[in-house]
Every structure is written in C-alpha cells, then in structure tokens.
Amino acid sequence: MRKKDRIVFLFFSLFVGLFPLVVASIKAVSHYIDVMIFAGIFSLVSIGLCLLMGYAGQISLAQAAFMGIGAYCSGILTTHYGWPSSLALMVGLVVTGVVAYGVGVPSLKLKGHYLAMATLGFGMIVHIVLNEEVELTGGPSGLVGISGLGIGNFQISSPFAWYYLVWGCVATVMLFSLNLVRSRIGRAFLAIHADERAAQAMGVDVSNYKVKVFVLSALLASFAGSLYAHYVEFLNPGSFGLMWSIKFVLMVMVGGIQNLWGAVIGTVFLTFLSNEWLHFLADFEVLIYGLILLVIAMFIPQGLVTVVATKLLKKGLRDGA
Amino acid sequence: MARKLLRLESVSRKFGGLDALRNVTYAVPEGVIQAIIGPNGAGKTTLFNCVSGVFPPTSGSIYFDGVRIDGLPSHKIAALGVSRTFQNVALFKNMSVLENVMLGRHRQSRAGFLACGFRLPSMKREEQEIIRRAREYLDFVGLVDEENKPAGSLPLGKQKILEIARALATEPRLLLLDEPAGGLNTAETEQLGDLIRRIKKTLGVTVLLVEHDMNLVMECSDLVVVLHFGTVLASGTPSEVKNNEKVIEVYLGSAAN
Amino acid sequence: MDFIQYLFSGLTVGAIYALVALGYNIIYNVTEIINFAQGEFVMLGGLLAVFYREVLHFPLAFAFLASVVTVGFVGYFFERFVIRYAREQAVLSLIIITIAFSIVLKGSAMLFWGKDPYTLEPFTQGEPWIIFGAALQRQSLWVFLTGTAIVVGLSLFFSRSYYGKAMCACADNPVAARMVGIPVRKMIMLSFVLSAAIGAAGGVAITPLSLMEYDRGALLGLKGFGAAVLGGLGHFWGALVAGLFLGIAESMCAGYLSSGYKDAVALVALLLVLFVRPQGFFGNAEVGSIKRF
Ligand SMILES: Nc1ncnc2c1ncn2[C@@H]1O[C@H](COP(=O)(O)OP(=O)(O)OP(=O)(O)O)[C@@H](O)[C@H]1O
Ligand SMILES: [Mg+2]
C-alpha cells in the first residue's frame, strides 16, 4: 500500500469503527446502522465492479444478477433444504463462480458494446428465472424465512454484530483490492484497459486476466448477495434486476471509475440517498439516478468523490498555510 | 552462415480482396540488425503483425528459433522471446513511465492473485526486483529521470524510446521496431541509431527494423530486405540493395514525386 | 389451429423487434455507436400516442404522427445535447452515457404516466379475421403495414435520395465522406432522429395489442438488439428476417413450452449468437473487425 492509502485506511477504520457508537447514542439517526449495513454489503459489489470496470476496462451489467445467484443459493438452501447458512454461502460462491466463468469466457472475447449487451442479456435471463421458478424461488412474491447467518451455535443477530461483520469484510476486500491494483496484476489490468493489443504483445494473457477479474467481481457480488439474504431474511427478484446492475455502475461512477475508495464512498452516499434523503422523492428516484449518471459520464469522468476530495484537500492546504 | 532466428515460409496475408503479403519467404540470421524497407502499403506492418501474432497469416508458416509460431496468440509468441513496438505509439498512457516498463516484466514475474492481494513476502521481493530491472532498462535508453511522469505526457520522441524500453524489458531475443524514427528530428534519430546498435551489441538482441529514414537504415543495418506490394523485391547488404536496379526503379520512381 | 395463431402473434411482435433492430442499425452504421436507449423510443412512442389520443383527444392518425414527431425530436435532442459532446469518448463512457439517457427517459415516463400499463384503441375497429381457423387481429395487420411502409420508405430513402446515399457513404467511410463534402454531423443527427421516429412508430402500432408501460423499453431494446445481431449488425435485411424469426420463436415458445420463459427466448438467442457467431448470420467478420468498437 502506498502511504496515501495507509492514511486513508486509518481514517476509514476510525470512521467505520466509531460510526455505530456515535449513531446509536442519537435516537433520531440510530437506524443509520441499518443503512450502513446495506451500504457495506453493496460496497462489496461495487469494489468488485470497480476492479472490473475501472481497472480492467470491461463493463458488466450483470452484477445484480450475480448477487442474486448468491442470494438465492443461500436462500433456497437454507429454507428448502435446511442447510447451515455458512455452507449455503459457500455453495453460492461456487455456483456463481462456475456461472461467471461460463458466461465470461465467451463474453469477454467480445468488444465493448457487445460485452455490455451480453451481460445485460444474461442479467435479464437470471431475473426471468428467479421470477419463473416459483417452486424454488417463490417467484415474484418472494422467498421468506431465510435463516440468519451463523456458524454452529454462534449466530450473528445484533445489528452491531452485523455491522462489524459486514464492514470487516469490506475492509478486508478493500485491502486486498488496493494491494492487487498496485501489483503486476493491477498493472496488467490497466494495460488491458489502455491497449489490449499492446498488452498482449508484451506477454499479458489478456483473455485470461479478463475472465479472472470478471469471476472475481462476480464472486464478490455473490458473497454480498448471500450476506444480504441472511441479513434481510427475505428475497424478491426485484432486488436483482437490471436497475440494480445499473445502480452499481452508478455507485462506481460517482466515486470515480478508477478509484476504489471512491467506489465505497459512492456506494454509501447513494445508499443513504435512496434509503433516507430521497425517500420522499421515491417517484423521482429513477430519473435522478439517470441524470446523475449522465452528468458524471459526460462531464466528470474522474468522479464526484475525486473532485470533492481534491477541492477539500486544496482548501485544507490553503487554510492550513 | 549464422543460425536463422526467424524463418518465413511462403507467408501470405489477405484483407478481403487485398493481398498485403504474397508468398513471402525469408530468413533472418541471429544477431543482426535486419532492416525491412518498402513504399507505403508494402506490407511491412502486416509482416510484423503476422510475426508477433496480432493476427495469423492467411497461409504459410513462420518459425522462431525452429518453433512454429504462426497462429499462436501474441502473448505466447512474446513468451518465446519476440517483442515489438508499434507504428503508432501504443504506450499505456494511463500509467507512469516506470510502470510501462514494469509491465514489460510481466512474463518474468510469477505472483498470482492471492500473493498480490495479500502482499506475500515473495510478491514484495519480486516487485522490488521488477522495479530494479525496469530502472535498468530506463537507464539503458536514457529515460531514468522521467520515471514518474505519466507516459502520455512525454514528447513523441521519448514515447518512442520508452516503447523500446518496455519491449526490451520482456528480454526478447528478437525485437521488432516499426518505424521508430517516424516523427523524430535529426538529433533524436541519431540517438536512436545509437540505441539500436547498442541493443544488438550490449544485449545481443536481433533487431528487425522497419524504417523509411534511409540514412538510419543504411547506417544501422547489417542486412536489408525490400518489400514491394507484399513480395520480396530484393535483399542483401545495404550497399547491395542500394545498387540493385529493381530497387532503384521502385524507390527512385516513387521518391521522384 | 394453434400453430397459425402463434405464427400470427409471432410475426406481429417480430415486426416490432425488426423495427427496433433497424433503429440500432441506422445509428450504428453512421456512428458505430450502439444506442442503449433504442427500446425507450418504442415505449415513449406508445405512451405519447396514448397521451395525444386520450388526453388531448387528437384524431388517432394525428396522435400517431404527433407521437412519432415528438420522439423524433427526443432523438434530435439526444444527439444534439448529449452524443455530440461524447462522441469522441472511449466506448465504455459512450455505453454508460446511452444507458444513462435510457434511464432518464424511463424515469421521466414513470413520472408522467406512473407505473400502470396503458392501452390505445385499435387503428380500425372490427372483428378479427379468421384465417385457417386462427384469428388475425386487424391491428396486427396495421403493425405489418406500418413495418412494411417503414421498410419500403427506408430502402427508397437509402437508394434514391441524396441524404440517404450520403448516410450510406458515411457508414462506409466517414473520413472519405467528409472529404467529398458530405456533412457528416448532419447525417449523424439524421440517423438519431430517424431511428427514434422508427422506434416510436413501432411503439404506437403495438400498443393497442400489447399495452405499454414505462419499463418496457429495456426488454424491447434488448430483444431488438438480439435481432440486429442475429441479422448481422448494420445489415438492413438481416435485421428484418431476424426480427420476424425471433418474434415467431418467442411466440412458439409461449404457446408450446412455457409462457413465463418466452421473454428469455430472444435473450438466449442473443447470447448464443454473440458467443458463437458475433458477426451474425448475414454479417461479415472482416467488416466487423475494422469497426472502431
Ligand atoms: N487490419 C487491416 N485490415 C485491412 N487492411 C489492412 C489491414 N492492415 C493493413 N491493411 C492493408 O494492407 C496493406 C499493407 O499495409 P501495411 O500496414 O502492412 O503497410 P506498410 O508497409 O506498413 O505501410 P506504411 O509504410 O505506410 O506503414 C495496405 O494496403 C493496408 O491498407
Ligand atoms: Mg506500417
């Protein structure tokens, strides 16, 4: 990790660590813990998508579908078959990994637009299956009675436990990803992003890396999906449709496409936006998301978070001097 | 007669109805600087693309050090020891100068996802080694002072040199340079000639040089082959080629206008 | 006869997919951009026609025209104020931009019309015709008529008119087209207006049969893209054949296999084609490989 990352990580840990303690003591915002748990779960997805999209330059509009595969594996195995949640989660990872590999190998041979359409089509197929396999998934009315998360007798039940579990995972995944992008593999991603032909001529096995980072991002989504299933204990196909895949793209874009910290901050910001601040504007939500995405993609490709952070930093330096 | 490092046997490449290469048979001995010249559209870049695996030849076979390489994907050909630069500079503009060269070391390093993600000691050691070697190559081409600049911010001359450093970092035995002097001024071209000679002498790399700058070609190269409409028109030492009648006809004919 | 019945309904939706596919092709040929908002034009066309007819009480033919013109204007707006500033961006941002615009259209439609489906009266009243024991809705015929009129009009436009020929030239070689003085920018603009209007016409025609709601665009768009790819992206007749084929396949699946999975048919076909033969069945791999994206 670079020095800058270390400092940011320190602040991040402090903030995330203290957040529930502060929030829990203020009645009006005590439910923010719950929102933050969701934000943490979604952050796992957007970190994966940031690696795929920002670093390796490959788009995926199927992240919500991968999340859905993980979630429904957890949901179905614990409700219909009485499996322990931790085992169900692992099976979810394996299933998602295999599916992502199967979809990734042929898709990632395709160029930009085709790749986007292929993942979009795949995501919609998953959504249709979730709606149609009523006996397994409960169909549109949903799957209820999913067990909580636990290993043996140890159950994760309090919001605090969930909070620290989820954000512990986020921190671990974040460290892993930061290390990854500052290594030979991260350089290979960036090279693929910049110029596939040149990367390959320099000895980078381009399709291999593309598939690997695609599977990695799918696994993170699946893991997040399983956490989601065990936390909410209820699933419904609507949470894994196209709109959600686009929301993940938006979360990454808000943070600045090639900025892992930005992806987390963007995710937290948008989760609060839709769960809290824009709640009364629910009908406008889709429109607002579209507009934000449009403006960022057109005018602020480096992302809102990056722009604001740079501004604050400059201001801080000026005031300090 | 020196060993042949690269052998082309009746290599052809079609683009739709256009024959970019027709039945090219040619062999490059090890340890030479081999120039390839020819008018625009003669098929020089196409030849490079076939050899480096950007696309396969339509027919014919290519051997590198006795191993058949036509049709292999380009990262495999790179792994065998063929590296190249591109006619239109193809640097990774989003990365720093040093990182570009470090990418060249990709094949020479092993660390996988887990080792990289968890920064295992083996990976850290390897990374140090990558940096050290990358700096050596930057030093070799004379760009060591620029290592932290974004690759895209360098002037064109330096970008071309950086691309050579990146290619050298893969430790090739055969280096393909596609118009390295294009867009360079006289002083820069002289330095480039110097660099190419050092690549052969110091590093022992065989160089294939596509170039329009005849001074550079005549000064640097040991052998010259002339491509014309996708076929080999003539080959030999620079002075032989210079005095070849067919070459004079084609070249002076086109140089006249 | 069930089979004939399914064939009729398949051809009807297939005609709409073909129109969407044509929309993709027109823009793609001129700009090499895939417009992810293509399906939203269809949705918008249908809902706007309902608005003009039911709220403003236009005569039906005027409602049709007004809707097509309005959506054509949306296409103009999209090109003029969005695409024009983004055209030189990397393909990744272009994709995201057209997706974002599709979300904007969808979000606006939801604001105006809410989440309920709307219907429109058929273009002509009357009992369906019975052919070989199967019922053919009069509106289905209108869908075909609309489709045929558009196809004939477009082929005349491309082969006869100055603008049409100029657009073909841009598609073949934009640099050369610019050099011989064709206003490439105008052609790009025209391609967006045209494909928006075509999508809208399809949307109006289909609404009396299958209703229309704010979130139908994405699926329609994706199926239309399936048809475009199946027929070879950029290929005019390929898109038509593939669109009708997908429509029939979908309707047969709904009839004989499972109605719930009918929407998946075109998507699975799309994935299979992309994986096995991305240049489509009428396209040419060589041409595809020199395209920018
Ligand atoms: N990918 C391609 N698709 C279609 N045609 C191509 C392609 N690459 C090259 N060509 C054609 O093949 C012929 C040979 O091109 P090539 O680039 O090999 O020439 P060159 O000798 O490198 O010329 P220059 O000196 O201008 O670089 C040209 O007519 C060119 O248009
Ligand atoms: Mg060339």
DSSP, residue by residue, B127-139: HHHHHHHHHHHHH
Residues 6 or more apart whose Cβ sits within 8 Å of residue A221:
A44, A45, A48, A49, A63, A64, A66, A67, A70, A96
Q: Decide: residue A86, CB within 10 A, 0-12 exposed, 13-18 middle, 19+ buried.
A: middle
CB of B230 sitting under 6 A from ligand 1: no
Q: What digits encode the pLDDT tens for the residues A213-241?
A: 999 999 999 999 999 999 999 999 999 99
The shortest C-alpha distance from B52 to chain A (Å) reads: 7
Contact (CB, 8 A) for B248 and B37: no
| Four-point Cα dihedral A286, A288, A294, A300, nearest 10 | -140
The shortest C-alpha distance from B101 to chain A (Å) reads: 10
Pairing mode, if any, of strands B59-64 and B4-15?
A: antiparallel
Whether A74 shows a pLDDT value over 70: the answer reads yes
Q: What digits encode the pLDDT tens for the residues A108-161?
A: 888 778 888 999 999 999 999 999 998 889 888 889 888 888 877 788 888 899
Choose among B52, B53, B109: nearest Cβ to A184.
Answer: B109
Minimal-distance CA residue to ligand 1 atom 17: B45
Question: Mean pLDDT across the stretch C52-72?
Answer: 94
Contact (CB, 8 A) for A96 and A218: yes
Residue A251's pLDDT is: 94
- Which residues of chain A neighbour B99 with C-beta distances below 8 Å? 187, 190
Whether A291 shows a pLDDT value over 60: the answer reads yes
- Which residues of chain B neighbour A258 with C-beta distances below 8 Å? 94
- Spatial separation of the C-alpha atoms in residues A212 and A186, rounded to whole Å: 12
Using the 8-state DSSP alphabet, how is residue C128 labeled?
P
Whether C198 shows a pLDDT value over 80: the answer reads yes
Pairing mode, if any, of strands B33-37 and B206-210?
A: parallel
CB of B38 sitting under 6 A from ligand 1: yes
Tokens of residue B56, six digits? 């396969």
If DSSP codes are grouped into helix, strand and coil, which group holds residue B204? coil
Q: How many residues does chain C have?
A: 293
Q: What digits encode the pLDDT tens for the residues C127-150?
A: 888 888 888 888 899 999 999 899
Interface residues on A facing B, Cβ-Cβ cutoff 8 A: 1, 176-177, 179-180, 183-188, 190-191, 193-195, 197-206, 212, 216, 258
Expressed in angstroms, the distance from the first to the final Cα of chain C is 46
Residue B246's pLDDT is: 85
Residue A220's pLDDT is: 98
> Of the CATH numbers 3.40.50.300, 3.90.1720.10, 3.90.1150.10, 3.20.20.70, which one belongs to the domain with range B1-12+26-78+187-257?
3.40.50.300
Q: How many domains does chain A have?
A: 1
**Domain range summary for chain C, segments of one domain joined by +:** 2-276
Q: SS3 letters for C220-284?
A: HHHHHHHHHHHCCCCCHHHHHHHHHHHHHHHHHHHHHHCCCCHHHHHHHHHHHHHHHCCCCCCCC
CB of B87 sitting under 6 A from ligand 1: yes
CB of B104 sitting under 6 A from ligand 1: no
Question: Mean pLDDT across the stretch A313-320?
Answer: 72
Count of CB pairs separated by less than 8 Å, A with C: 126
ipTM above 0.90, yes or no: yes
Q: Which residues place a Cβ less than 5 A from the ion ligand 2? A: B 45, 87
pLDDT range class, residue C236, cuts 50, 70, 90: confident
- In chain B, CATH 3.40.50.300 sits at 1-12+26-78+187-257, 82-171
- Spatial separation of the C-alpha atoms in residues A217 and A123, rounded to whole Å: 14
Q: What digits encode the pLDDT tens for the residues C115-133?
A: 999 999 888 888 888 888 8
Using the 8-state DSSP alphabet, how is residue B150 labeled?
B
Candidate from A312-321, B65-74, B99-108, C44-53 with smallest mean pLDDT: A312-321
CA angle at B177 for the pair B174 and B178, rounded to the nearest 5°: 140
pLDDT range class, residue C290, cuts 50, 70, 90: very low
Residue C237's pLDDT is: 85
Contact (CB, 8 A) for A119 and A60: yes
CATH fold label, B82-171: Rossmann fold (3.40.50)
Residue C186's pLDDT is: 87
What is the B181 CA–ligand 2 centroid distance (Å)? 12
Using the 8-state DSSP alphabet, how is residue C52 labeled?
I
- Spatial separation of the C-alpha atoms in residues A140 and A128, rounded to whole Å: 10
Residue A262's pLDDT is: 92
Q: What digits encode the pLDDT tens for the residues A168-220?
A: 999 999 999 999 999 999 999 999 999 999 999 999 999 999 999 999 999 99
Nearest ligand 1 atom to the CA of B42 is: 21
- Supply the range of the domain harboring residue A43: 3-320
- Which residues of chain A neighbour B74 with C-beta distances below 8 Å? 197, 200-201
Which tops the pLDDT comparison, A191 or C187? A191
The shortest C-alpha distance from C130 to chain A (Å) reads: 33
Q: Which of residues 256-295 of A touch C (CB under 8 A)?
A: 257, 283-291, 293-294
Choose among A106, A253, A291: nearest Cβ to C104.
Answer: A291
- Spatial separation of the C-alpha atoms in residues C208 and C116, rounded to whole Å: 15
Contact B107 A212 (CB under 8 A): no
Question: Mean pLDDT across the stretch A276-293?
Answer: 84
- Spatial separation of the C-alpha atoms in residues C119 and C82, rounded to whole Å: 31
Give me the residues paired with residue A149 across strands: A156
Task: Find the CATH number of the domain harbouring A76.
Answer: 1.10.3470
- Spatial separation of the C-alpha atoms in residues C199 and C51, rounded to whole Å: 17
Residue B165's pLDDT is: 96
pLDDT range class, residue A8, cuts 50, 70, 90: confident
Tokens of residue B66, six digits? 């006795």
The domain defined by C2-276 carries CATH number 1.10.3470 = yes
pTM of the shown model: 0.92
Expressed in angstroms, the distance from the first to the final Cα of chain B is 40
Each of the 257 residues of chain B gets a pLDDT tens digit; together they read 578 899 999 999 999 888 999 999 999 999 999 999 999 999 999 999 999 999 999 999 999 999 999 989 999 999 999 999 999 999 999 899 999 999 999 999 999 999 999 999 999 999 999 999 999 999 999 999 999 999 999 999 999 999 999 999 999 999 999 999 988 899 999 999 999 999 999 999 999 999 999 999 999 999 999 999 999 999 999 989 888 888 888 776 655 44
Contact A188 B74 (CB under 8 A): no
The per-residue pLDDT of chain C, averaged, comes to 88
CB of B88 sitting under 6 A from ligand 1: no
Pairing mode, if any, of strands A143-144 and A234-235?
A: antiparallel
Ligand 1 probe mutation, B15, B211, B227, most atoms within 8 A of CB: B15
Give me the residues paired with residue B14 across strands: B19
| Beta strand residue intervals within chain A, DSSP E | 143-144, 149-151, 154-156, 234-235
Residue A170's pLDDT is: 97
